[in-house]
Each structure stands twice: as structure tokens, then as C-alpha cells.
Structure 1
Amino acid sequence: MGIVLKGIGIGNKISIGKVFLYNKEKIEFSQEKDELPFEIKIRQLEESIEDVRRELEELYKSIKETFPREAEIFLFHKGILEDEYVIEKIKSYLAEGYSLVYSIERAFNEIKSEFEGMEQELFRERAKDIEDVEERLLKKILNINTSSLSSLPYPCIVVAKDLTPSDTANLDFINLLGFVTEEGSITSHTAILAQVFNIPAVVGVRGIIDQVKKAEEIIIDSGEGLVILNPTEEEKHFYSIKKDEKDKISRELIKFRDLPAITSKGRRIKVFANIGSEKEAEIAINMGAEGIGLFRTEFIFLDRNDPPSEEEQFRIYKRVAEIFKDKPVIIRTLDIGGDKEIPYLKLEKEKNPFLGVRGLRLCLLERELFKVQLRAILRASVFGNIWIMYPMVAIKEEVEEANKILEEVKQEFENEGKTFVRNIKVGIMVEIPSIALSLEEVIDIIDFVSIGSNDLIQYTFAADRTNEKLRYLYIPNHRAVVSLIKNVVDVCHKFGKEVGVCGEIAGDEEYVPLLVDLGVDELSMAPSKIPVIKKKIIEL
């Protein structure tokens, strides 16, 4: 029997192939102090920063068209490199007589420690970006050639301690069969990349590096989160059959991709996609999405030093609208807070951020940020069928205030002579029980509703959905949750408004029959799940 290891599986695929161990050169500590004049070390630092800055700009330009979301990471890296706080910290050690390499290592280690000590996992993951920038700068100073995964020697499964954005920027997708990393979580860059491009991956496999050194072959089952090193012939045979079965199912599902989802009783259910970037929009349309039920715009705001401009947002929204033409594209306004934060907003630290300033609450406090986004959305509205959706609504007054700001922007556009869709549809996400139970109060000032089941379940049971110890309280079919969804559907239909679901249960075969039975009009999910959910609905 081969060596079986467990990690966090990304996707539901099987890959069998040769190991490619990606071991990056470790940069050893240099001498702590030297006699080199301070001015010369400063010049070397500035020249190296400029060289790395140019490299990052080239990387950004080379992949921004194909992978816009991933490309933004390199702008974040450039921001780290140019940050005065970082530069001054390095200079302070140089002034004490430390060598340039030692000063950089010490400064970056301190900054990494700050990130690693943060409560939010998203920010702990950003420590990898700090490390990536440090490595680039040190290799430039020491004249070490950076290794690359852009040209893999054979079809293989890459095994690494972890993969940074620089590692994955120009991956050889032709020879790449999958990823296995020792570090990483569901929110890590590697995990996100695997989900977007449907690459089998298992992350967080503790001890894989020590175990894999003598392995020639490897099997990964991302559905089970399993890694098998040096599999036996029996194991290879078993997983080959299992892989063929999964591949056959995938091929059969493709025929459902472009079919309308109509139940045996003739009821039509719209099947939309959840996305976070232009590239994912292209994947969604190719997978048969009939619209975008949730465009998560927060990814445009994360991993950067300044908020995105109106022009930058406009180009992204316009591109997605053009991809989907007359099909609905529901853009969720900025949903930051809880487990997602933006350092440049300098928000006060909250004891319980999931119950604090997040979603629409933040937008109503940061009005200029909100208005810039609304301006970008309205400008893009003439290029397709864009709808606006407010997240984390608790009471009617929040929607009234948001609509008032939207009306102000519309009036500004009219005064400026700009073209836009005046009667653009506006809806809300139902994620909080208070609005689910009082929907009739707000239904006359909105056009549609989308149920965010992830947070609705979380707030119904007062249980953090990211806490594994409380996993038993994730019960989508509990009578309390079902009652809330049924109430929302009944109110919407009473007033002639459509209602959708954009949480995880919308793409889960187990719960789709329940949602259809409750009367939901539209389901929105990860693009890769669209064919299987269409098949499920057709067979109901």
C-alpha cells in the first residue's frame, strides 16, 4: 500500500501522474554587519527596488488580460515594495551598520510577523505575499536566477511547500496535472487558482515534502482530500477506474450545459453563476450560465494599497456585461467586513466583525467609496443588462438610504449629460433573519431578492460557518432555515418579484429539490457546477 496523506481538497477530480518536487532555493543568512558605506548600500537598495518594480509591472502586463484577478496581486506586491514603512524599516537597520541582505531579511521578517499575528485568515495568507516580495528583492541583490514553473519537464503533479503568486503567474498548464502543497488553506492563492481553472489540488498536506522525496508517482483525489505516494498497482488500477468514471460523468454532463433547466412538470428554473472576475465570467458563459447571479466585487478592492478608481471598476463591469450581452449581470456592491477587510480604509478593530460594520453598513458609512462604485456600475449599465444588489441588509431604512445615494448619482449623471440605464433594477441579499421576516416592509422599493444562504444559516444558528467545531450547526434543511426561505419566496411572489439563491446550497444536488419545491426562481453557483445542477433540475 502506498503512503496515504490527508489535506484540504479543492474540487472533485482525480489525477494520477509523476511527481515534480518544486524546491525553491533557500537564501541563507548573510553576515549581519559589514564595512560598506551607508550611501552605497542605499544606492544598491534603490536600484534593486527599481529592477524588481519593473519585473512586477511586466508580470502584471503579461497576464492581466488572461488572469485579471491574479494580475492584481502583482500590483499589491509592487505596493509592498514601494511602501515607505517597509523602505524606512530597511534603512533604519542599514544606518546601524547591518548588511543590506540582513537588513532586508530582518525588516521583512518583522512585517511578516505582523501579518501572521492577525486574526483573519485572509490577512495571515497575505504574509506569503510579503515573503514573495522579499525573495524577489534578495535574489535580485544576490544575482540568483529565479526558478520557474512556466516550463514543466513532463506531465506532472507539482508538489511544493507552498506556491506564491510569482510561482503561479506563468504556470505551464499543458503539463500541469494538479497541485499538492504542504501549507495553504481554502483561501490561499493556490486554492483560488485551482478552483477558478478547475485544476485538482490538495493543500495543507502536513509532512508531504519529507515524504515525497523518494516518491516517483502520486495520486490525488481532490474530492476526498487524499494524496497517495508510490501507489501500488492495485491502487493505480482502482483510481484509474474511478477517474474514468468521473471523467465520463463530466463528459455526459456537458450535454446539459446549454439546455434550459425545466422540471418534468414544466417549471423553468434560471441557472446563474457566481463570479469574482472577468476571467470567471468567460468560464461561466462557456459552462452554460444564463446570467450572473452574484458578481463579488470585493475582489477588486482587496490586496492593494488604494481603492480602485471609477475608471478601473467601469472597465471590469463593462467587460462582464458585454460577455453576457442581454443576460442579467447582478453586481453586488462592496461586501467587506467579517472575514474580509481593507487595510487602506483604516476601519476600527471590532470585537465581533461578523456582527459589525460590513456589507451595506460599510457603504453607507464610506459614502464616497460607495458613490464611486455606483458611478462605475451606472456607466457600464448601457453595455448589457446590469442589476445592482445590496448585501447585508437588516432593515428597510438601509435600503432607503442606499437608494437615495443611488438617486443622487443618477441626478449627477443627468446634470453631466452621461448616458445610463435610468430604471436599472435594484435588489437586496437576504442574509439576516430580520429582513427575511419583515420583507413586506421593503418589497415595494426593490425589484428582486437573492437569498445568501451561507450567512442566513450562520445568523439563524448564531454559529460561525468557518468554525469546524460548529459544523454540526450548518443545517440548510432545518425547519428554521426552510421557514425563512419559504417566507421570502411567498412575499416575493405575492408582489410579483423574482427570488434567487446564491449561497452554497444553490449548487448542491442534495438541496436543489428542496429549493425548487419552495418556489425559488433562480439558482446561482460556481460555474463548474452549472451542468450538474441543470441535469438535476431536468430530472426532478
Structure 2
Amino acid sequence: MADSQSRKLLGRLREALAESSAGQARLDRITTIIATSMHTEVCSIYLFRDADTLELCATEGLRPEAVHKTRLRLGEGLVGRVARKNRPINTADAPSTRGFRYMPETGEEIYSSFLGVPIQRLGERLGVLVVQSKEARQYSDDEVYGLEVVAMVLAEMTELGAFIGEGAALSARHQNPAMFKGTVAQEGIAEGRVWLHEPRVVVTNPIADDPEAETERLMAAIETLRGSIDDQMTGIALAEKDQREVLETYRMFAHSRGWIRRMCADIARGLSAEAAVEKEQSSARNRMESVPDAYMRERLQDLDDLANRLLRILSGQGNDTGAAMPDRPILVARNIGPGELLEYGRKLRGIVLEQGSVGSHAVIVARALAIPLVIHADGLATEALNGDPILVDGDQGIVHLRPSENVTTAFRDKMAMQAKAQERYADLRGLPAQSLCGAVVSLTMNAGLMADLPSLEGSGAEGVGLFRTELQFLARPNVPKRGDLAALYARVMDAANGRRVVFRTLDIGSDKVLPYMRRVDEPNPALGWRAIRLTLDKPGIMRMQLQALIRAAAGRPLSVMFPFVAQFDEFREARAHLLDEVERERRLGHKVPEKVEIGAMLETPSLAFAPEQFFALADFISIGGNDLKQFFFAADRENERVRRRYDTLNVSFLTFVEQIVARCREAGTPLSFCGEDAGRPVEAVCLAAMGVRALSMRPASIGPVKSLLRRVNLEDARAAIDASRAAGDQSVRRAVTDWLGNVLRAEQVA
């Protein structure tokens, strides 16, 4: 199909779309136009009814009675294969092609040739467009390409609601209630209105009459884009090598002849400049899904981001769309960086991401801000519109978009119950977490931002058991200055008002990659060059941070903890660095801390079996529960298929914790447990029963944990655990839950 023919076809489609027809009539008219223009006997449109089911919604040439009756599962038949693979199938002999499924109700057995292309928009699968002929022939590359252009227009028209209405083939988009199941990244619940981090550019003019004018518009926008990239590079110092490399990649794509040539070819076929950019963007996203190489996926992500910027220039729909942020905003995005999230700050009530990971920068910031966060909510950013009502259940990982009245009522009841519970916990704020048997458990909070520190008073935390120092590195475009870090750490200690603050040194690597540091492509980053391994290899960074901490203390006590220590020598070397810096500061005449505590995070099973000298030399040890658990069970906590298989209250894991407690007790080394499980009341009781006497958690968890600890006898809890172990149970959860139920029922009776 030549460019001129393609433009004529698109022109006829535009006329059909402009007619005041109902959705079904419009679809029927379109199949007739395509079949006539392409000189084929059949044109059919299959659309998704749900994520796994395609339905024949319109046809020219097949039996009309099959419309809305014929359905295929994703991957079933040639149509299902096109949808699953997101790639065209072009065959001269359909019945003998692998995957063919005969559907007698359609009467298609008389047609030999088959060409099917996906109808998709930016990675969202909408359906399949098919043409068929009796003649056994392979469709030409030009015909395949032309049909893809038509499918692109159909996708845009679907987004704009062209096929809804009386007798509609489709239900209205962006109007009905929808539920999304994601992954819990930060607990909590929130009700609010959608605020899209990157509002979608809606292409309202997919078809254009004047290819020359559209090409000129495209090239002008590309020049603007190139200029903005050059301006960014001018503002970056030559020393900031890694950041320059990122922009160099952007510049390379912005000058890519192949990218520009493909978009110009799309325009020649009859697409507008915006639709041509979006067509290329969809292709990049498809390639991204099928490329196994991490580096190549990242480059395709760069191309996707660049296409977004180009679309905003062309359409005039920049990030600032003129929409006002709603009251109680809940941020919805595909993904977001820590710096961008910090800019929103505490204005947000909740966050929902389509991507992300439980250890990502965004999760760290969300936890620091105590904002409920759900990740892996696939499709939400496509379905949501700014201002849509939304409910986020961070406890269950469920998001309700445009919820029904019944769902909203139940959700508000849950929020009210949680608010009442928080009021009860407030009465315990000044009381110790002392169990009925007299054991006292120290409860501290995790933090990472100055904004966290007011929670010290409100939550009743005894101090900060973990202050994450990497956020100040992650949220900036370049390495922070020592003076700036020292000033920040000093403000943290001032805000703690004499309470102990344990500063964890820089924990980067794995999925926490600095924007100005070259990403190291590792097959398993969680087990790779990260945390103490990275900073020991780059001692300049470690020394700079340690100097900032020493100067921030200004004579006050200082507690420093090194992350991800796997063997004694790593701790001994890092400890020597800190003591050397203290001595250096003393020689320079600076005030040094009156007392320095140097500890380690026990996150690898190997450290639990370190020599006695390690336990004697460490001033304190903190079990990093999140990492320790995934390494203990060899279960990646980012992998939903395996991470929920393994329980913290598994007998093996609790026995391992018990062994660590015994080694620390023998050496006289204080031990704490830090992580999500520390903030879960039942888990907290079990950890305390195993001998852990300090727990560090998010501020909101301190009340519930303290409330339960004060109502139980830890000796009885230990007896329930031991009985379960003796019975050969895999987990003690059921036994402990039954015991707790009896205790709380007896309390109510009394």
C-alpha cells in the first residue's frame, strides 16, 4: 500500500469517525472501508473483553451472526497469538500455520491468506486488526506497515471513546469503577483524588492531511528537544561524568537518523506528528518487554522518556497542564525518582506505582514520609485521570479507582477503626513497652529525613534505631558536600533532643543507584557490589561521610552502624576508618564525640557465624530483618512468587534469631531487630520472646506493638513457641495466634 493510498484510507477513516454514529455502527463502517481500500474480502476487529479474552466486535466478510459471539483466549488461534506476542502474523496459508484454530461459526474456512496486527497504545493491548483473502498470497511489507498505521489510529480513537454509545462495541473508558491488585510497599490506607505524575498526552488529531506541514512540525519540535538537552549539558560540570553520560545517550537518540526517518515515514502514510511519535514510542515499549539485556532495556527506557518529552513539545501539553492539584492528592505514576517524590513531600496522601520495587528509592522516601504505597499496580496510570476518586489500601496492596459507594463506605469504616486505635495508642506514649513478666523492650523508630523527626514525640519512640543516610545522596543530581551533610546530621541530632540516633552509613548499590554514578550491570545486584562493599572500595566517599558525622556530633555521643557486613574483616576495616577520622579531626582541633559507638547490621547469615572477636569488638549489632530473611530462605523479596512462601515465624528462622541472641548475650553486645517485621505486633512479641530486647520500626507501628507487648507474658509466649517447635510445626504462627486469642479473650472477661 503506497503512501498516497495509505493517506486516502486514513482520510476515509477520519470521515467515518466524524459521522454521528453509534459505536458499533462506526466499527462496522470502518471494517468495510479497510477491506475495500486494501482489496481484501475480509476485515475484522477483535477487542479485549478482559485481560485474557478477545471478542470479534466487527467484521466485513465473515458471518455477521458471529459478531459478539466468537471469543478467543489470549494466545489462542492466530488472532490470540498476535495479541500475546504483540507482533504481526502474515501467512498465505492460514489453516496450515502453527496455532491456527478453526472457528466454524465465522465461515472463514474459505479464506487462505491472513494478516493480523495488534491494536495497542503505549504498551496497552486493546485488540487485533485482521484482513483475509481467498487468494493464497503473502501480504507485502507495505501492506503490513499500512495496516499497522491504521491499527494505531484505531487505538487512538478507542482512547478518545469513538466506539462507545448505543449498541457500543466497547464500554466507556475512564468512567467505570476498577480495582488493581499490587504489592505492599508501605503499609497504611488513604482516600483521595488522583494526581498523575506525568499526565498522558492525549493525541486528538491522529490523522493529518498535509505530510509536509506535519514533518516540519516534527523537525521543529526535535530541534527544541535537542536544544533543551544541550542546555542541560551546559549546566553540568565536566567532573560529573556519569550524569553527562546519561544526557549524551539522550542526545544520541535525539539525533538518531533511524528514529527520525521512521517517524517521517509514518507521517508520509497519513499520521499526524504526534501520532507518529506515539507509534514509535509503542514500538520501543514492545521491544523493551522482549529484550533480556538490562543495559538495552535501560536504553529503550531512555528512548521512551525522550518520546514523552517530544510529545509534550508537539502537543503543548507539558508537565504543567494547568490542572490544580486536588485536595488529598494520591500520586499515580509508572515510576518516580526519589528527588521528584521529595519535591511533593507531605502534600501526598498516598502513592501508587505501576513499577518500582520494595527496596527502591521511592519506597524508601515513602516510608520516611509515612505515606501508604502500592507498587506493581499494572495499568493504573493508563486508566486513571486527574481528579478521579481513589482508595489506597497499603495493608493489602489493593487500589480502588472510582470506587462504588459500598466500597467507599467499607473503606471509610476501616479508616475510622484505625483512627480510634491510634487514639488508644496515644495514651501509652509515655509508658514503657514492659510485658506482664517484667521484661522491657526498647522501641525505636526508623527515619531518613528531617521530616521524620517530629514523629519521635508523637509516636513515643525512645530514639532513632536506624537513620538511613542514603536519601541525601539519592535525591540530588550530584555528590552532596561534606558541609551540607554535616549540617543535616547536626539538625537530626538537635531534633532528637538527646535521644540516641543510630546513623547507618551509605547503603547504595543493588536497586539504589546514585543518579551520578555509573550503573554496574550485575546478574544479581542484591548479592553484588553494594553497601559496605562499595564504600570500602571507594574510601573517599566513606571518609567524607564519616567526617560529616563526626563534625555533626560536635562533642555529643555518636552512634554509627555499617550496613551489609558479611565478614569480620569488613567490619574491622570500616571501624578503623572511623577511628582514624576521629583522630584526624582531633589533630585538626575540631570537637570530637565524647563517645563513639560503632555497630554493624547483621543482614547476611555468614556474620552470625563470625569469630568471637567480632561480637566482642562491635559496640552493638542490629539484625536487618528484611535482607536477612531473603538470604536465609534464598527467596528474593522482590519476587511475589516466592517471597510470601516463607514466614518470619518459621521455626528455622526463629531458631536462627535465637542463636544470634545467645552469641550477643555471651559477648555482652546489645542487639536490636530492625525491619518491617519489627513493626508487626505478633512478630514483635515472638522476637521479644526469643530474647530480642530492642526493636526499630516505622513510627506508626510503635503504638500497636507497645500495646500488645504490655498485655502479654513473654515467658508464656516462649512456652507456646517451644511447644510448637517440639510438635514439628514448620511455623509457630498458628500456635502463637491461638495463644494470643486465648490471652485477649481472658482479658476481656476479666
TM superposition score normalised by structure 1 = 0.76
Instruction: Map 1:99-498; keep pairs closer than 5 Å.
Output: 139=312, 144=317, 146-147=319-320, 151-152=324-325, 178=350, 186=358, 194-200=366-372, 202-208=374-380, 218-229=390-401, 231-302=403-474, 306-342=478-514, 344-346=516-518, 349-382=521-554, 384-421=556-593, 423-438=595-610, 440-498=612-670
Judge which range, 477-486 or 163-172, deviates more: 163-172
Query: Are 1:149 and 1:168, in contact at CA under 8 Å, matched by a contact in 2?
Result: no
5+ unaligned residues in a row in structure 2: which ranges?
1-175, 265-272, 713-750
| Residue deviations 1:24-63 (CA, integer Å, cap 9, x gap) | 352769978659999x987985478649999x9xxxxxxx
Equivalents in 1 of 2:522, 2:488: separation in Å? 32
Equivalents in 2 of 1:288, 1:469: separation in Å? 37
Question: What is the Cα deviation at residue 512 of structure 1?
Answer: 0.8
Equivalents in 2 of 1:506, 1:36: separation in Å? 55
Question: What is the Cα deviation at residue 518 of structure 1?
Answer: 1.9
Judge which range, 496-505 or 455-464, deviates more: 455-464
Q: Which amino acid aligns with 1:242?
A: K
Question: What is the Cα deviation at residue 463 of structure 1?
Answer: 2.4
Instruction: Map 1:13-32; keep pairs closer than 5 Å.
Output: 13-15=188-190, 24=199, 26=201
* Bigger RCO of structures 1 and 2 (CA < 8 A, at least 6 apart): 1
SS in structure 2 opposite 1:339? coil
Equivalents in 1 of 2:386, 2:517: separation in Å? 49
SS in structure 1 opposite 2:599? strand
CA RMSD of aligned residues (A): 4.9
Instruction: Map 1:499-514; keep pairs closer than 5 Å.
Output: 499-514=671-686
SS in structure 2 opposite 1:450? strand
Please name the residue that 2:123 is paired with: none
Query: Are 1:443 and 1:495, in contact at CA under 8 Å, matched by a contact in 2?
Result: yes
| Residue deviations 1:304-362 (CA, integer Å, cap 9, x gap) | 55433322322222221121132111111222333334475547544433333332222
Question: What is the Cα deviation at residue 209 of structure 1?
Answer: 6.1
Question: What is the Cα deviation at residue 504 of structure 1?
Answer: 2.0
Q: Which amino acid aligns with 1:406?
A: L
Q: Which amino acid aligns with 1:386?
A: L
Equivalents in 1 of 2:583, 2:395: separation in Å? 51
- Structure 1 residues 215 and 495 mapped into 2: Cα distance closer, same or farther (>3 Å)? closer
Please name the residue that 1:59 is paired with: none
Equivalents in 1 of 2:345, 2:487: separation in Å? 28
Equivalents in 2 of 1:53, 1:469: separation in Å? 46
Query: Are 1:285 and 1:323, in contact at CA under 8 Å, matched by a contact in 2?
Result: no
SS in structure 2 opposite 1:151? coil
- Structure 1 residues 263 and 133 mapped into 2: Cα distance closer, same or farther (>3 Å)? farther
Q: Tell me whether 1:521 sits opposite 2:696 in the alignment.
A: no
Instruction: Map 1:68-107; keep pairs closer than 5 Å.
Output: 83-87=247-251, 90=254
Please name the residue that 2:104 is paired with: none
- Structure 1 residues 219 and 336 mapped into 2: Cα distance closer, same or farther (>3 Å)? closer
Q: Which amino acid aligns with 2:247?
A: D
Judge which range, 333-342 or 164-173, deviates more: 164-173
| Residue deviations 1:364-417 (CA, integer Å, cap 9, x gap) | 221122111111111112275431111222222222222222232223222322
- Structure 1 residues 479 and 371 mapped into 2: Cα distance closer, same or farther (>3 Å)? same
Query: Are 1:8 and 1:205, in contact at CA under 8 Å, matched by a contact in 2?
Result: yes
Judge which range, 442-451 or 298-307, deviates more: 298-307
Equivalents in 1 of 2:300, 2:218: separation in Å? 31
Query: Are 1:291 and 1:327, in contact at CA under 8 Å, matched by a contact in 2?
Result: yes
Please name the residue that 1:70 is paired with: none
- Structure 1 residues 263 and 304 mapped into 2: Cα distance closer, same or farther (>3 Å)? same
Question: What is the Cα deviation at residue 452 of structure 1?
Answer: 1.0
Equivalents in 1 of 2:639, 2:421: separation in Å? 33
Q: Which amino acid aligns with 2:437?
A: K
Q: Aligned pair count?
A: 516
Query: Are 2:360 and 2:511, in contact at CA under 8 Å, matched by a contact in 1?
Result: no
SS in structure 2 opposite 1:265? coil
5+ unaligned residues in a row in structure 1: which ranges?
57-75
